[in-house]
């Protein structure tokens, strides 16, 4: 790995894992040591992700035993979890126990939902099943890098794709005391947000050329967003969330609307958002309406705002697989190891996707 820190990936065959492997292939400080897939141990990573063949011509998926053996051989390592919620907690718990037993200094970023809540009861209330490793929850902090200067724990839970786009808009509104703490969120996501396994909602003939809502005002991400927003801003708020399925593969567009506490002009609102994110290298605030194509396949987020009728609307776009998942996880890992958070993530969006 040419002196790069070994990176271990749990849950290696999904879209998020594929995006994570793409980013790690170009990371100057991290190199892939092992990718766990209980369903495809010994199979070629390049067969699962043909677009990554040039980066990983010989890499094979590991079974759990080989994965743990590889982790024991390292003195220091990065652990990424891209496994599904409900499965991730047990895998992370076992991997961290393996590392501790071997004396391996490891930092973990969990991209699943399993470590986003501070208690097992809060998790179980939303996901309707027991948490796989409740004793580990205190070892994780859930936040966006843009909203937390210092991490109080060894490990991080990434807030997720819809949450990333929404929190980037919601947190400054609450932290700057601009709005009443009741926010209405409409989000549109690409089909990759539903995962790799084909289901009716991602089947191309049904989704192409169409737009429809799902889980309106009852989606499981709403309580996650509210909880993380409160921790980041110090303000408890009601989040009313209506997600939509869009006719594209990648990207998320979110519009957040709220009632202003006092009169504010659009220019002043944009200036306030820009100042709030002045030290955030991946967030750009502009007057023009943000477009999904301008951020797809990048770790960048674009925001804008409009004021009228005593309300404010903040528009936010991110790539669901990059900034909303794998890229955000790499950004966090950079922070956990005290590297520049931009390492391996500075490539602009390709455009015309």
Q: Can you give the pLDDT of all 353 residues of the chain as single tens digits?
A: 678 999 999 998 999 999 999 999 999 999 999 999 988 999 999 999 999 999 999 999 999 999 999 999 999 999 999 999 999 999 999 999 999 999 999 999 999 999 999 999 999 999 999 999 999 999 999 999 999 999 999 999 999 999 999 999 999 999 999 999 999 999 999 999 888 887 887 788 888 899 999 999 999 999 999 999 999 999 999 999 999 999 999 999 999 999 999 999 999 999 999 999 999 999 999 999 999 999 999 999 999 999 999 999 999 999 999 999 999 999 999 999 999 999 999 999 999 98
Residue 339 lies in a domain: no
Q: What is the per-residue pLDDT for 203?
A: 80
Residue 229 lies in a domain: yes
Please count the structural domains in the chain: 2
Q: What is the per-residue pLDDT for 148?
A: 97
Residue 63 lies in a domain: yes
To the question of pTM greater than 0.85 for the whole model, the response is yes
Same domain, 136 and 253: no
Residue 149 lies in a domain: no
Q: What is the per-residue pLDDT for 302?
A: 98
Q: How many angstroms separate the CA atoms of 168 and 282, rounded?
A: 11
Q: How many angstroms separate the CA atoms of 193 and 176, rounded?
A: 31
Q: Which of 81, 108, 142, 161 is catalytic?
A: 161
Same domain, 215 and 77: no
Same domain, 215 and 261: yes
The CATH number for 283's domain is 3.30.360.10
Same domain, 27 and 171: no
Q: What is the per-residue pLDDT for 1?
A: 63
Domain final residue pick, 114, 142, 170: 142
Same domain, 121 and 193: no
Whether 108 is catalytic? no
* The two three-digit tokens of residue 344, written as one number: 């391996």
Same domain, 57 and 88: yes
Domain final residue pick, 110, 142, 174: 142
Residue 285 lies in a domain: yes
For 147, residues 6+ apart whose C-beta sits below 8 A from its C-beta are 167, 171, 232
Here the contacts of 271-280 (C-beta below 8 Å, separation 24 or greater) are 272/172, 272/176, 272/178, 273/172, 273/303, 273/305, 273/314, 276/172, 276/175, 276/176, 277/146, 277/168, 277/172, 277/303, 280/145, 280/146
Same domain, 133 and 265: no
Domain span holding position 259:
161-319
Residue 27 lies in a domain: yes
Residue 88 lies in a domain: yes
The CATH number for 98's domain is 3.40.50.720
């Amino acid at each position: 790995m040419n002196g790069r820190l070994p990176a271990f990936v749990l849950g290696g065959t999904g879209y998020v894992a594929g995006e994570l492997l793409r980013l790690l292939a170009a990371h100057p400080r991290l190199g892939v040591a092992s990718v766990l897939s209980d369903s495809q141990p010994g199979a070629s990573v390049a067969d699962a992700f043909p677009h990554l063949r040039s980066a990983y011509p010989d890499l094979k998926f590991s079974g759990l035993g080989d994965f743990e053996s590889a982790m024991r051989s390292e003195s220091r390592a990065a652990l990424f979890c891209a496994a599904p919620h409900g499965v991730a907690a047990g895998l992370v718990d076992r991997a961290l126990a393996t590392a501790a037993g071997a004396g391996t200094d490891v930092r973990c970023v969990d991209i699943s939902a399993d470590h986003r809540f501070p208690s097992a009861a809060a998790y179980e209330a939303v996901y309707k099943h027991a948490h796989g490793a409740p004793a580990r929850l205190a070892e994780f902090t859930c936040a966006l890098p843009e909203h937390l200067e210092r991490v109080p724990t060894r490990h991080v839970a990434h807030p997720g794709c819809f949450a990333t786009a929404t929190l980037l808009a919601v947190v400054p509104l609450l932290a700057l005391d601009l709005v009443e703490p009741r926010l209405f969120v409409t989000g549109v996501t690409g089909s990759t947000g539903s995962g790799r396994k084909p289901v009716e909602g991602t089947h191309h003939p049904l989704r192409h050329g169409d737009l429809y809502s799902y889980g309106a005002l009852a989606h499981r991400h709403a309580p996650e967003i509210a909880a993380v927003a409160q921790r980041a801003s110090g303000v408890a708020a009601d989040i009313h969330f209506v997600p939509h399925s869009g006719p594209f593969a990648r990207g998320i567009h979110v519009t957040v609307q709220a009632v202003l506490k006092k009169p504010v002009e659009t220019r002043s609102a944009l200036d306030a958002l820009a100042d709030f994110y002045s030290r955030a290298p991946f967030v750009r605030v502009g007057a023009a309406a943000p477009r999904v194509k301008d951020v797809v396949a990048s770790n960048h987020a674009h925001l804008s705002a409009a004021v009228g009728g005593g309300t404010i609307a903040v528009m936010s776009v991110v790539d669901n697989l990059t900034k909303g998942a794998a890229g955000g996880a790499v950004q966090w890992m950079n922070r956990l190891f005290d590297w520049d958070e931009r390492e391996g993530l500075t490539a602009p969006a390709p455009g015309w996707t």
